[in-house]
């Protein structure tokens, strides 16, 4: 109960939409490493949900709720790493030139993903398996939509 109240308050902070890192001091390679880390963890927690939606692994309501909550946080993390300073990175990145040449479209793809995650979050505690699987599909589609245009083919 205590934890529930705390997170309820924190949700207000999460909605602020402000950059809360000190980007000016961050090295280009660190920017890339951090945004890739966020993508790696999105994969960690989305993977099992995609497996459930595709019928490859058994549906588990607790896992849907937990992973949706973690994706809620993770879905906010990569974007401030896609700043011009990161173009000076020496490490390998799969970001396509379109990230820089089509910023409005890239931002729209980010927003689309975050909305899809929020839609999943909103049904993740309801126990409605069909609605959850549909929302998981929506997140997968949003991931793919952004990767299609802005990430090098893997």
| Secondary structure, 3-state, 108-142 | HHHHHHHHHHHHHHHHCCCCCHHHHHHHHHHHHHH
Site string (51-80) toward its own copies, x via CB under 8 A: x-----x--x-xx-xxxxxx-xxx-xx---
Among 125, 118, 116, 114, CA closest to 65? 125
How far apart are CB 39 and its own copies at their closest, in Å? 8
Q: Please report whether residue 15 would count as binding its own copies according to CB under 8 A.
A: yes
> Of residues 83, 100, 118, 137, which one binds its own copies by CB under 8 A?
118
Residue for token digits 């109240």? 5
- Calculate the CA dihedral of residues 105, 140, 7, 111 and round it to 10 degrees: 10
70 versus 134: smaller Cβ distance to its own copies: 70
With CB under 8 A, what is the number of residues at the site for its own copies? 51
Q: Are 124 and 45 in contact (CB under 8 A)?
A: no
Applying CB under 8 A, which residues contact its own copies? 2-16, 18, 20-22, 33-34, 36-38, 40-41, 44-45, 47-48, 51, 57, 60, 62-63, 65-70, 72-74, 76-77, 118, 121-122, 124-125
């Amino acid at each position: 109960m205590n934890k529930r109240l705390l997170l309820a308050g924190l949700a207000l902070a999460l909605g602020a939409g402000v950059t809360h890192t000190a980007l000016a001091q961050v090295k280009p390679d660190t920017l890339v490493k951090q945004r890739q880390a966020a993508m790696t963890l999105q994969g960690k927690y989305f993977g099992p949900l995609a497996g459930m939606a595709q019928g490859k692994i058994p549906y588990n309501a607790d896992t849907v709720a937990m992973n949706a909550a973690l994706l809620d946080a993770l879905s906010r993390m990569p974007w401030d790493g896609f700043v011009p300073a990161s173009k000076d990175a020496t490490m390998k990145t799969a970001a396509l030139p379109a990230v820089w040449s089509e910023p409005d479209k890239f931002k729209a793809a980010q927003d689309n993903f975050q909305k899809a995650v929020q839609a999943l979050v909103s049904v993740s505690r309801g126990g409605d398996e069909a609605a959850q699987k549909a929302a998981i599909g929506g997140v997968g589609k949003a991931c793919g939509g952004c990767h299609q245009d802005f990430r090098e083919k893997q």
